[in-house]
Amino acid sequence: MIGRVIKDTYRIYDAVGQSSTSTVYLAKDLERNQVVALKVIRPELAGEGQFARRFRREAELLSRLDSSHAVKVLDYGRDEGVDFIVLEYVEGRTLLQILSEDGMLEVERALSLARQIAQGLAHADEAGIVHRDIRPANIMVEPSGLVKIMDFGIARGADLSRLTATGVLGSPHYLSPEQAEGREVDIRSDIYSLGITLFEMLTGRPPYEANHAVNIILKHLQEPVPLLREFEEEIPGEVEELVKRCLAKDPEERFQTPVELIEAIDGTLGVTSSGIEVTLVGQTLGQCRMIERIGRGGMAIVYRAYQLPLDRYVAVKVLPAYLAHDPNFATRFQREAKAIAKLSHPHILPVHDFGQEGELGYIVMRYVEGGTLKEMLGQPLALNQVVDIIAQIGDALDYAHQQGIIHRDIKPTNVLMDRGRWAFLSDFGLAKMTADTAQITRTGMGMGTPAYMSPEQAQGEEVDERSDIYSLGIMLFEMLTGQVPFDADTPLAVLVKHLSAPLPLPRKVNPDIPEPVEQVILKATAKASEDRYQRVSEMMDALRWAAVEKGLPKKEEIVLGDSIEVVDEGKLERLIEIIEEEEGPDLESLIEIVEELE
């Protein structure tokens, strides 16, 4: 078949897969100049008139199935004795490959994948189509996280007598009892097979195993469903019950439709106490498809997402659903988000987009792989590293203040670290967006994070840039000592210490801190805002002076292409000499030189 042109349109290049009913080839649509998948029915089945007729009837029906969770049928027919279906070519890994390479999945990821499969089945159910062969090998997961079901309806024309010989009806591990007995099946059979697939995602193995296909089928018919927690103790009871219902022997006792199953998955994933939806993996907000949850705080959940039109990964922060119940939130969100999106600074995390869908507000930001500053803490950092990072954040904060924007939530988890040395300050204005709707939390504190909150913010008073300076001073304390200055059993007790307790002397916690640097911390964290630095630039000048007094070299920023590198003042002079000696090296060479100097 390699090299053959089907229907004068599809040139076959390579065989990429084979099953008991067909062979799949990589082909090129010569008319549209695009890569496609060409499924050719095995010759011994194509020769059976009844099978061929049912296959073509099924292909015609499937060509009208319009679902983002099903591999699309682009064409079908018969050419010189060859029955074929042309499918969209999907890049990614099958769920079988994912389970083989990654092992069992986390509960939320497994449920989110199952939800997308159920969505595809719901679309098929609306069209009157039953898949009959749901299993990990027939589930494709794109790099963006989108799930697509393959091989819809192909098993329909198979003869049950071939079950144990060829597996025409699918692998015995995933067969529903009624399918194994040769009875008429409906969408509830697919729900059973999806339940088996979900069981395997959660435990790394199917529920029934034996040394022969017939023995596996007998277990489907006769044995109770094994408990998930026999294989993985941490699986919640609600998930256990959901899978158990999918796998009921009697179809009447299962979820009756995929929509019912989707609702049950949503209920199992639930909503956090803050009202933030956690069922978004696999779904789309604006142009972004959510891939995985990468962060969660009291006021938002952050997802890694794929922005299809621009072919890039982004971070999407989703705000609590309850905020939409405030009639003024939409206007306030639009106003604040526009102001934040206009911020343009090398050390401020760029905001690409924002919007609202239903009750959810979201912000699309640059995706940074390096983690947060919080992950670097727990022990004192070197003084030169601290000064570098604080100077970057301070410069970003000073710029924002000049634009009239107060951060209100300066803390290590809001500082993203690219390559461990380039800092991005994130979440500008988030507390302001939400503060008017939920001014007081359950503890009675103002919006923010207690460990880093200024006294005036803790009391719910109006704040200005000096509140951010206080929080930056607390963060400086933590970076140099490895701990926050105030700790207590409750958030409210922490706030009381911010209001009344003197700040522990940093040098008593870490004697290696230079005295001039300690003085910077003490002034930045003064209880009264008028006693602090009045501008961030004042604090940064004082910190840089203190560092120079200690003997640390001055730092300079240089722009190399799309990146900015920080080098010592002395090394910058050496870099200039090298450039003059080499008469203008190219960009790649410059970057290598900078890295060698460091």
Question: Residue 161 has what pLDDT?
Answer: 32
DSSP class of residue 70 equals B
Give CA–CA dist 56/58, Å, rounded: 5
Q: For residue 230, is it within any domain? A: yes
**Helices 465-481 and 536-550, interaxial angle, to 10°?**
30
Residues 295 and 410 in one domain: no
H-helix or E-strand spanning residue 174? none
Give CA–CA dist 309/311, Å, rounded: 6
Answer with the one of 533, 550, 567 that is the final residue of a domain: 550
Q: Where are the beta strands (DSSP E) in 1-99?
A: 5-6, 10-18, 22-29, 34-41, 73-79, 82-88, 93-94
Answer with the one of 351, 366, 381 that is the final residue of a domain: 366
Question: Residue 255 has what pLDDT?
Answer: 95
Phi, psi (degrees; rounded to nearest 5) at 272: -70, 170
Residues 348 and 391 in one domain: no
> Please, which residues have CB within 8 angstroms of residue 72's CB and are 6 or more apart in sequence?
65, 66, 87, 88
Residues 10 and 52 in one domain: yes
Question: Residue 92 has what pLDDT?
Answer: 86
**At 42, which CATH number?**
3.30.200.20
Tokens coding 550: 């200690």
Residues 196 and 249 in one domain: yes
Residues 45 and 122 in one domain: no
- Establish how many alpha carbons lie within 13 A of residue 105's alpha carbon, considering only the half-sphere containing its beta carbon: 21
Question: Residue 237 has what pLDDT?
Answer: 87
CB 133 within 8 A of CB 96: no
Residues 177 and 262 in one domain: yes
Check: pTM over 0.75? Answer yes or no.
no
SS3 labels along 344-380: CCCCECCEEEEEEECCEEEEEEECCCCCEHHHHCCCC
Tokens coding 178: 């009624």
- Known catalytic residue: 66? no
Q: For residue 217, is it within any domain? A: yes
Question: Residue 572 has what pLDDT?
Answer: 54
Length of the chain: 598
How many independent structural domains does the chain possess? 5
Number of helices (H) and strands (E) in the chain: give both, helices first: 21, 19
Residues 582 and 475 in one domain: no
Residues 584 and 481 in one domain: no
Q: For residue 207, is it within any domain? A: yes
Which of these is catalytic: 151, 190, 388, 409? 409
Question: Residue 580 has what pLDDT?
Answer: 59
**At 229, which CATH number?**
1.10.510.10
Handedness of CA 217, 221, 223, 229 (dihedral sign): positive
Residues 431 and 362 in one domain: no
SS3 labels along 235-275: CCHHHHHHHHHHCCCCHHHCCCCHHHHHHHHHHHHCECCCC
Give CA–CA dist 276/299, Å, rounded: 8
Using alpha carbons, select from 154, 24, 152, 2 the residue that is nearest to residue 89: 24
Question: Residue 594 has what pLDDT?
Answer: 53
Q: For residue 178, is it within any domain? A: yes
Single-letter code of the amino acid located at 241: E
Q: For residue 224, is it within any domain? A: yes
Q: For residue 461, is it within any domain? A: yes
SS3 labels along 387-409: HHHHHHHHHHHHHHHHCCCCCCC
| Dihedral of the alpha carbons of 577, 583, 589, 591, in degrees to the nearest 10 | 40
Question: Residue 91 has what pLDDT?
Answer: 84
Residues 263 and 182 in one domain: yes
Question: Which residue range is the domain that position 321 belongs to?
Answer: 284-366
| Dihedral of the alpha carbons of 249, 252, 256, 262, in degrees to the nearest 10 | -50
Using alpha carbons, select from 374, 408, 369, 395 the residue that is nearest to residue 536: 395
Question: Residue 43 has what pLDDT?
Answer: 75
Q: For residue 236, is it within any domain? A: yes
CB 221 within 8 A of CB 261: no
Answer with the one of 60, 88, 116 that is the final residue of a domain: 88
Give CA–CA dist 537/33, Å, rounded: 58
Q: For residue 274, is it within any domain? A: no
CB 555 within 8 A of CB 501: no
Residues 347 and 437 in one domain: no
Give CA–CA dist 202/228, Å, rounded: 8
Residues 358 and 384 in one domain: no
CB 389 within 8 A of CB 420: no
Tokens coding 94: 């099958």
CB 158 within 8 A of CB 51: yes
pLDDT (tens, 9 = 90+) of the chain, 598 residues, equals 888 999 999 999 998 877 767 788 999 999 988 899 998 887 777 666 666 776 777 677 777 787 888 888 888 888 888 888 898 888 888 999 999 998 989 888 898 899 889 989 998 888 888 888 899 999 998 876 788 998 775 444 333 333 333 333 457 899 999 988 888 899 999 999 999 999 999 999 999 988 888 889 899 999 999 998 888 888 888 899 999 999 999 999 999 999 999 888 877 776 433 444 446 777 788 889 888 878 766 556 788 899 888 889 999 988 766 555 555 566 666 776 777 788 889 899 888 888 877 767 788 989 988 788 988 998 999 998 999 999 999 999 999 999 888 888 899 988 999 876 789 998 775 545 444 444 333 333 445 678 999 999 888 888 899 999 999 999 999 999 999 999 888 778 888 899 999 999 999 999 999 999 999 999 999 999 999 999 999 999 999 888 876 655 555 554 444 444 554 555 555 555 655 565 555 545 555 555 555 5
| Dihedral of the alpha carbons of 542, 543, 548, 550, in degrees to the nearest 10 | 120
Identify the burial level of 135 via C-beta atoms within 10 angstroms of its C-beta, where 0-12 means exposed, 13-18 middle and 19 or more buried: buried
